Amino acid sequence: MKILITLVICNCVLGAALSLYLVLIWRKYKEAVAAHGWNPECADPLCRNMWLLCFIPIFGMLYYLVVGETIGILSTTYKDSVDGIVTVSYGSLSFHYSEE
């Protein structure tokens, strides 16, 4: 029982840390995303309580990696130069961001 409680507490702490870091990343790069032609309301990783995904084991870390990479790409890439589609790949997994 102690192991289960420890795992739940560690998962909650990790989820909170990932969510907080996403908030900090988004606040830092929000203006750069808008300056490159992207809609910050569509690119917001925290909208519609999406930050709660960080609390799902393993999937939360994958969400964190994809969102962090996507924000980095959006803040340095002009929307017109990539036809409004950004792809983030990890091995054979590919995730696409589009504002259409």
> Domain limits of the chain?
2-98
Q: What is the pTM of this model?
A: 0.84
pLDDT, one tens digit per residue, over 49-68 is 888 888 998 888 899 999 99
Local structure of residue 52 (DSSP, 8 states): G
For range 70-77, the mean pLDDT: 94
Residue 96's pLDDT is what?
92
How would residue 71 be classed by pLDDT, with cut points 50, 70 and 90? very high
How would residue 48 be classed by pLDDT, with cut points 50, 70 and 90? confident
The dihedrals phi and psi of 44, each to the nearest 5 degrees, come to -65, 115
Residue 52's pLDDT is what?
87
Give the pair of three-digit tokens for residue 87. 């792809």
Local structure of residue 99 (DSSP, 8 states): -
Helix (H) or strand (E) holding 62: helix 59-74
pLDDT, one tens digit per residue, over 17-43 is 999 999 999 999 999 999 999 999 988
Give the pair of three-digit tokens for residue 4. 């289960």
Please state, for a pLDDT cut of 70, what percent of the chain lies above it. 100
- Rounded to whole angstroms, how far apart are CA atoms 14 and 3? 16
- Rounded to whole angstroms, how far apart are CA atoms 21 and 78? 24
